[in-house]
Amino acid sequence: MERSTGDFARGYDRAGRGDSSYFAWTNHGKESIVLDLKTDEDAQLLHRLIDRADVFVQNLAPGAFARLGFDTTELRAHNPRLITCDISGYGESEAVADKKAYDLLVQAESGLIGISGGANELGRIGISIVDIGAGITAYTAVLEALVTRAVSNTGSALKVSLFDVAAEWMTVPFAQHVHGDGGPARVGLRHPTIAPYGAYETADGRLTLLAVQNEREWELLCINVLGRPDIASDPRYGSNNDRVANRGLLELDLSNEILNARRDHLSGPTR
Q: What is the distance between the terminal CA atoms of the chain, rounded to a whole angstrom?
A: 47
Catalytic residue among 71, 131, 181, 230: 131
Phi, psi of 37 (to 5 degrees): -75, -5
- Cα–Cα distance measured from residue 105 to residue 117, given in angstroms and rounded to the nearest whole number: 16
How many residues appear in the chain? 271
- Cα–Cα distance measured from residue 31 to residue 41, given in angstroms and rounded to the nearest whole number: 20
Burial of 237 (0-12, 13-18, 19+ CB in 10 A): buried
Phi, psi of 163 (to 5 degrees): -65, -45
Give the HSE-up count for residue 140: Cα atoms under 13 Å, Cβ half-sphere: 8
* CB burial string 38-61: b at 16+ within 10 A, e below: eeeebbeebeeebeebebbbebee
Which residue from 42, 4, 2 is spatially nearest to 26, judged by alpha carbons? 2
Which residue from 183, 205, 204 is spatially nearest to 192, judged by alpha carbons? 183
Has 131 been annotated as catalytic? yes
- Cα–Cα distance measured from residue 90 to residue 186, given in angstroms and rounded to the nearest whole number: 26
- Cα–Cα distance measured from residue 137 to residue 59, given in angstroms and rounded to the nearest whole number: 14
Q: Which residues are marked as active site?
A: 131
